[in-house]
Amino acid sequence: MMDFINFYLIPGITLGSIYALGAVGVSMIFGILRFAHFAHGDLMTVGAYFALSAVWLLGIPALAAIPIAMALTCLVALFADRAFYKPLRQLPTIYTVIASFGVALIFRSVIQLLWGTESQVYSVGFQKPIVLFDSLRIATRHIQIIAATAVITVALNWFLHHTQMGKTMRAVSDDPALASVAGLDPEKTIRWTWIIGAGLAAIAGVFVGLDTDVHTMMGWNLLLPMFAAALLGGIGKPLGAIAGGLIIGIAEEICTYPILGESLISPSYKSAVAFVIMLLILIFRPRGLFKGRLL
C-alpha cells in the first residue's frame, strides 16, 4: 500500500499538477480565442529554458528563476499572438490552429538553435526524500510542485470569480458576441488570456525540468495529455482543466501499478492513457465533466 502511495500516487499527483498548469492555458485559449493551441507545449519548453538560462547566469535556484521565466514567456506569447495569430483572427479559427502548429515548430527550432539539443538539469545532486509517518516518502520537489499547484488553483479561482478581468474572461468565454455587445474589449481580454496561460505554462515547464530534465521535446510530448485534460475539464473551464490534469496524471501512473503482479499497461504506453481518455470524452461527453462548451 505504501509503495502504491510513494511510487505511484504521489508521482501521479505531481505529473497531474504539471498537466493541470499547462491545461489551464489550453482551456482558456479554447474558451476565449476558440482554437486548439498546438504551440502550448512548446511554450512550456520556452519557459523551462528561460529558467535554465537564469539559473546559469544568475546562479539562482530554479524555483527563484520562475518569475523571470514567467515574464519572458509571457512576452514571447504576446509576441506570437501579435505576429502570427492576430492577423488570422477574422478567419475560421482552424487557420489559427494551423498557424499554432507552425509556431510550435518555430519555438522548438529557436530553442534548439540557441540552447542546443542536449538534455539539461537545473541542479545536479540528489535530494533526500522527506519521510513522514515512518513510511510515507515524498521527494522535496514533489512537495513543492504539488503545493505550488494548490496555491495557484486557489488564486486562479479567486481571480476568475472576484476580479473584473476574471469575470470578463468568463463572460467572453460564455458568449463572445454578447461580450462585445456589452462593450467589453476583446483584445484586452485576449492579452490577459495569454499572460495567464503563458505564465502558468512557464511554471509547468520549470516543474517538468525540476521533476525530470530539460530538453527540447519536453513540451511537445505533453501536448496530448494537456489537450485531454482541457477536454476532460470542459472547454473554457480553467478549474475543470486543473481537475482534468490531475485525473489524467494519476490515471497514467495508476495504470502502470502492478495489481496482482501485473500492471494494467506497460509503462512505455503511459501516454496512451491520455489518448484513450480523450477519445472516451469525445464519444460520450464532448462537453467534459463540468459542462464546458463545445467549440
Partner 1 sequence: MSNKILDVQNLTAGYGKQAIIENINTNVSDQQIVVIVGPNGAGKSTLLKSVFGLNNRMDGDITFHGQSIFTAKTSELVPMGISAVPQSHNVFPTLTVEENLDVGTFAAPPQDKKATKSKILDLFPDLKDKLGQQAGELSGGQRQMVAVGRALMSEPKLILLDEPTAGLSPAYLEVIFDLLLQVRDSGVAILMVEQNAKQALRIADYAYVLVNGKNAYEGTGAKLLQDDEVRKSFLGGGAPQ
Partner 2 sequence: MELSGMLFYLVSFLIMGGIYSVICLALNMQWGFGGLFNAGIAGFYAVGAYSAAIITSANSANHVGGFDLPIVVGLIVAGILSGIVGWAIARICVRLKADYLAMASIGIAEIIRLAVINEEWLTNGSLGVSRIPRPLEDFFTGRESELVFFIFVWIIVAITFWVAHRLYKSPWGRVMRAIRDNEAAAESVGKDVQSFRIQSFVIGAIFMGVAGALSAHYFKFFSPDATEPLLITFLAWVMLIAGGSGNNKGAVAGALIIWAIWSMTEIITQQLPPDWATRSSYIRMLLIGLFLQFVLQRFRAGLFPEKAPKLNVKSHG
Site string for partner 2, 4-33 (x = CB under 8 A): --------------------------x---
**Does residue 248 contact residue 228 with C-beta atoms inside 8 Å?**
yes
Considering the complex, state which of residue 2 and residue 83 has its C-beta at the smaller distance from partner 2: 83
Q: How many residues bind partner 2 (CB under 8 A)?
A: 45
The three cell numbers locating residue 141:
520537489
The three cell numbers locating residue 68:
523571470
Bridging pattern class, strands 262-263 and 136-138:
unpaired
Question: How far is the C-alpha of 82 from the C-alpha of 189, rounded, in Å?
Answer: 14
Considering the complex, state which of residue 10 and residue 15 has its C-beta at the smaller distance from partner 2: 15
Considering the complex, state which of residue 164 and residue 268 has its C-beta at the smaller distance from partner 2: 268
Question: How far is the C-alpha of 107 from the C-alpha of 26, rounded, in Å?
Answer: 17
From the list partner 1, partner 2, none, pick the one residue 183 interacts with, judged by a Cβ distance below 5 to 8 Å according to partner type.
partner 1
The three cell numbers locating residue 169:
474572461
User: Segment contacting partner 2 (CB under 8 A): 17-25, 58-66, 180-188, 261-269?
Assistant: 261-269
Question: How far is the C-alpha of 261 from the C-alpha of 7, rounded, in Å?
Answer: 15
The three cell numbers locating residue 77:
506569447
Using CB under 8 A, which of 112, 180, 221, 266 touches partner 1?
180
Site for partner 1 in 140-179 (CB under 8 A): 164, 167-168, 170-171, 174-175, 177-179
Question: If binding is defined by CB under 8 A, does position 269 make contact with partner 2?
Answer: yes
Site string for partner 1, 204-243 (x = CB under 8 A): ----------------------------------------
Bridging pattern class, strands 262-263 and 258-259:
antiparallel
Min CB(179)–partner 1 separation in Å: 8
User: Segment contacting partner 2 (CB under 8 A): 43-51, 71-79, 81-89, 167-175?
Assistant: 81-89
Question: How far is the C-alpha of 236 from the C-alpha of 294, rounded, in Å?
Answer: 9
**Does residue 228 contact residue 239 with C-beta atoms inside 8 Å?**
no
| Closest C-alpha among 31, 98, 76, 292 to residue 205 | 76
Considering the complex, state which of residue 198 and residue 239 has its C-beta at the smaller distance from partner 1: 239
Question: How far is the C-alpha of 201 from the C-alpha of 178, rounded, in Å?
Answer: 29
Question: If binding is defined by CB under 8 A, does position 93 make contact with partner 2?
Answer: yes
Question: How far is the C-alpha of 74 from the C-alpha of 198, rounded, in Å?
Answer: 5
Residue type for position 274 = A
User: Segment contacting partner 1 (CB under 8 A): 103-111, 144-152, 183-191, 261-269?
Assistant: 183-191
From the list partner 1, partner 2, none, pick the one residue 131 interacts with, judged by a Cβ distance below 5 to 8 Å according to partner type.
none
Q: How far is CA 33 from CA 92, 159, 163, 169, 260, in A?
A: 11, 19, 20, 11, 47
Which residues lie near partner 2 (CB under 8 A)?
A: 30, 35-36, 38, 83-84, 87-88, 91-95, 97-99, 101-103, 105-106, 108-110, 112-113, 223-224, 227-228, 231, 266, 268-269, 271-272, 274-275, 278-279, 282-283, 286, 294-295
Which residues lie near partner 1 (CB under 8 A)?
A: 164, 167-168, 170-171, 174-175, 177-185
